[in-house]
Amino acid sequence: MGRPRGSKNVITKESAARIGKLVERHGSPVRAMFKSLEHWVGVRDAELAKTSRHRNGAKIDKANEWILKFATALAPYTDKKQPTAVQTENTQKFAVVRCPPPAKSTADWLEKYGPGRTSSAEPMRVLEFSKQLRTALDTAEAVGIDDAEAILNEAKEKLK
């Protein structure tokens, strides 16, 4: 006895009827999601159109949150599947880095690259050195000289 095999039970029939009425009244769920997405995009755009003084940041954040949720939910219905493997051109790019040879000590480095000197041991004006101080300190760090305080002290003396 019981209900025939494959027939729908009362609960399924009722829920199908309710879903049918909702679809009739509001359209398909996907269409309703698109309408909601459009609404939140409009809310966000309206807030962003205002001057920064009059914008409601919380409203913009909430709109962005809902836009992301709806866009994520609608992605399977709108986007095609991406290929599993994407071939890209792989060209190697080379860069040449020129740096001074390592110094044995801070004193040797200061003698060669300190204030008033260039890598070619030509005298350099103090103003130019102060502009290049950051580069000099970076070079000292790259070479392995940890005592930058000696470089700074000598630069301060030269600037006085």
Give the model confidence (pLDDT) of 121-138 as tens digits.
444 444 455 556 667 666
* pLDDT (tens digit per residue) in 45-102: 999 999 888 889 999 999 999 999 999 888 887 777 666 666 667 776 666 666 667 7
Burial label, 7 (beta-carbon count in 10 A; 0-12, 13-18, 19+): exposed
Percent over 90 (pLDDT), the chain: 18
CA distance 109 to 34: 67
pLDDT, average across residues 111-118: 72
Token output for 30: 């996907």
Token output for 137: 């300190």
This model's pTM is above 0.85:
no
CA distance 103 to 142: 11
Q: Where do runs of H (alpha helix) occur along the chain? A: 10-26, 29-49, 57-78, 106-113, 126-131, 133-143, 148-159
pLDDT of amino acid 125: 45
CA distance 7 to 17: 15
Residue 145 pLDDT > 50: yes
pLDDT of amino acid 76: 82
pLDDT of amino acid 60: 93
CA distance 55 to 114: 53
Given the structure tokens 């290049």, which residue do they identify?
Answer: 132
Residue 15 pLDDT > 50: yes
Token output for 86: 């994407």
CA distance 19 to 44: 31
Confidence of residue 43 (pLDDT cuts 50, 70, 90): very high
